[in-house]
Amino acid sequence: MPTQDELFDAVDALLAGEPAMPPPSERARLREAAGITQARLAQVLETTTQTVKNWEAGRSEPRPPRRAPYQRLLEGWAQKHPAPAPAPATVPDTTPATVPDTTPATVPDTTPATVPDTTPAPAPAPAAEPAEKLPAPTTAPSPPPAAHPTAPPRPNTRPATRTTLPPTAASDPRFANGPLAVIDTDDQGQALGYCVGGLILDVPAKTLPALVEWTLAQAKLGAPRLTGPGKDADPLLVLTHAALQRFGLPTHLTDEERLAGRLPDTHKTITQLTRAQWQLTKRGLGPWARIYRPAQGGRRSCVQLCIPSWNALDTRSWGHAAHLPPAELASVLATYATRVMTPRGSTAVTGLELMTALHPPTRASAPDDSGTRHSEHNPGSLGKQPMDPPPCEATDGHPVLAHLPRFHIRTPAEKLFEEAYDWARPLTDDECMRRHLVGIDVNMAFAAAANGAVVGLATPPVHVTHPTFDAKTPGSWLADLSHVDLSHVKVGKQWHTLDGDLLPSPFTPTGNHPDGPAWYATPTLAYATELGYDVAPTEAFIRTEPGRYLDNWYKRLRDAYVSTMADLGVTENLTPQQLLTAMDGYKQRDPQTAIVLDAIKSTVKNGIGKFQEKARGQGWRPGQPWPALTRPTWRPDIRATVISRARVGMHRKMVALAAATDRYPVAVLSDCAVYAADGPSPLDVLPYDHAGKTVPGSFRLGVSPGMVKHEGTQTTLWAEELRERTHAPELNLARHIKTGDITTADTGE
């Protein structure tokens, strides 16, 4: 038993507590008075700029080990920069010499005739649909089963508590704690949930079924639907190493489990879930898992797991995110979830799911005579049923090509081949005399190409012969473009004479001139007419239900990209020189925000690629279907349309620049073009006048998608040495312009 003196000492220590921190506004005042930026302070304390912003906004409080050093710094600043004394109160003389008449001759009516209602309208009631295999989230989860009771949450007395809610939570109390939580444990083994804004939740669950129950019943995690007919986002739980050990899961998968992408169904944790009447989707308990119960009365319960140590966060998309501390990982993922959507898997999967979330396949109909709503097709969506592509659009090995010989290689007249540029040429004598090669890169090129793209929706393609080409009709066309002469093209309304040998062809990804009939997507054929040449297709597969399916997808990702770039100090409306200065080392200003930026860009690129997901895994044989074909979003024609628009968009910019300045690219890789120049800056390639304007229709420096940034600069001597060393006279210099390293395969996206 403790003595009375020991208890008094413990009580005195409790009363003393930790020294009080200055209020958030005072923290910001002291930092600004010292002339220190938030980024610099974050660097000194080895944390993120966003964390410092949260401290100064009152969204979170500093925790050990950074709390004491931060407080010492604030105390030092307070001594150097004391708060200004409040102004002495004065009693005004309320006796006016003359009392003016303050009644206006006419009192304007300041009440607007119509006050717009800015409160989000409630989503229409969903139709009574049959329960699907993978249920949607609900507004009220089903109660925990009696076999697995959940203990009530303990009061959270930890200092890192958010005082302001995220934007989504402010309008929906169901998701007051944000879209996700990173589950970790403290030194005593207590499970903690790190949420958006620095909030930390105590997690009483000791098994995975109990964790799922707690999440749905008490955690208040999730996100509202993105559109009326859509579904609320399921709560996402990210399990760290310590959390995996607490809930009986391996910290790493074996080689066999990694190849299978899941734990075996005999694992004890899966047995626990089954006993608690929880189910897993077909992909099982893997890096991205979904645990759910079938819908009951229109309400569904579902929780998603993300396990970084099982390679859920691919380094190609998420960098070093998997190795971040729990609070910082929660901040990174929550920022992405707020700006894009709650991750549903890889960035490719999330990109595709974002399209579906913005254009759900079904919606609730108007009430019938009995007042009942039914499920009906949602106009503007791709529908619920997959469709077979025409043979020219099918990838090799597709069932519609099963009649072809096994090793048959299809020609351009048999296969639609819309891919990104990979073209280069030798330098001319004049270009060899210039000292530098400058690479310029189009921001979010595939996103910009998706904006305004007209694609086929839910109606199958129609086969026609000898059609009249219509640039507004999406489809695939068989035509001969070998007559298009790039030496004589129309730019706008004027014809120009160019050096066609120094330009890549806009009709092939290799840049080689077509030598006969080939299949093209609508944007490619439309560009041939834009250059001033007639086209006469002999065959086509057209879509009779056109729509701009990707517009909303582009807008959301565009806003996410621009906002994240602004967090890194690169904003819109900068002058060209200001942009180049702001882009210098921009990712080093906040590495965590840079992770979000890369994930957004990867969502665009990989999401478009998901339209043509190919067969993977052992056991598949050409001519047999693979799982991706069961999705209505398996649409190689949409991918072809976007890539076609991106490629001809690059060519349009290069032609406009050549017509105005007689400058030609020496290499093009996807969305990166390399030019010879006398100086190392993009301003030595792109002509800007004193008003800040450049060649209309050509490359423009800026942060928005479709504008360009500096990719890299190397010397002309470097290029010649590189090509001699590799014995490749037409080595694509755009692949190596960023670092100058021959081992770096930079795709330019």
Domain range summary for the chain, segments of one domain joined by +: 20-79, 167-341, 399-420+451-547
Kind and range of the H or E run holding 725: helix 716-726
User: Before 65, cis peptide (omega within 30)?
Assistant: yes
Domain 20-79: which topology?
A: 434 Repressor (Amino-terminal Domain) (1.10.260)
Residue appearing with tokens 């579904």 = 231
Residue 279's DSSP bridge partners are 292
Distance CA 402, CA 415 (A): 15
Residue 112: per-residue pLDDT: 37
Distance CA 475, CA 460 (A): 11
Mean pLDDT by 10 residues, the chain (749 residues): 62 58 89 84 83 81 84 88 67 42 39 38 38 36 37 37 40 90 92 92 95 95 92 95 95 92 94 95 95 79 96 96 95 96 96 96 87 89 95 95 91 96 95 96 97 96 96 97 95 92 96 96 97 96 96 97 95 93 94 97 97 86 93 97 98 96 96 97 93 90 96 94 84 92 49
Structure tokens at 240: 């760290």
Of 514, 445, 504, nearest to 668 by C-alpha is 504
Q: Distances in Å between the alpha carbon of 40 and those of 29, 46, 67, 116, 150?
A: 15, 10, 17, 43, 44
Contacts of 680 (CB under 8 A, 6+ apart): 436, 438, 713
- Is the separation of the CB atoms in 511 and 518 below 8 Å? no
Residue type, 212: V
DSSP label at residue 36? -
Of 65, 73, 80, nearest to 22 by C-alpha is 73
How buried is 702 (Cβ within 10 angstroms: 0-12 exposed, 13-18 middle, 19+ buried)? Answer: middle
Residue type, 455: V
Secondary structure of 417-439 in the HEC alphabet?
CCCCCEEECCCCHHHHCCCEEEE
Kind and range of the H or E run holding 15: helix 4-16
Distance CA 352, CA 604 (A): 9
Strands 494-497 and 488-491: antiparallel
Residue 362's DSSP bridge partners are 377
- Is the separation of the CB atoms in 257 and 390 below 8 Å? no
Distance CA 470, CA 555 (A): 27
Residue 709's DSSP bridge partners are 441
Q: Distances in Å between the alpha carbon of 201 and those of 185, 194, 221, 423, 546?
A: 11, 7, 11, 54, 48
Residue 404: per-residue pLDDT: 92
- Is the separation of the CB atoms in 416 and 476 below 8 Å? yes
What contacts 24+ positions apart, CB below 8 Å, involve 558-561?
558/444, 558/447, 558/451, 558/704, 558/705, 559/339, 560/336, 560/339, 560/340, 560/600, 561/443, 561/444, 561/447, 561/597, 561/600, 561/601, 561/705
Distance CA 377, CA 354 (A): 18
Q: What does pTM read for this prediction?
A: 0.78
How buried is 609 (Cβ within 10 angstroms: 0-12 exposed, 13-18 middle, 19+ buried)? Answer: middle
Distance CA 429, CA 679 (A): 17
Phi, psi of 445 (to 5 degrees): -60, -40
Distance CA 481, CA 483 (A): 5
Distance CA 257, CA 483 (A): 55
Residue 187: per-residue pLDDT: 87
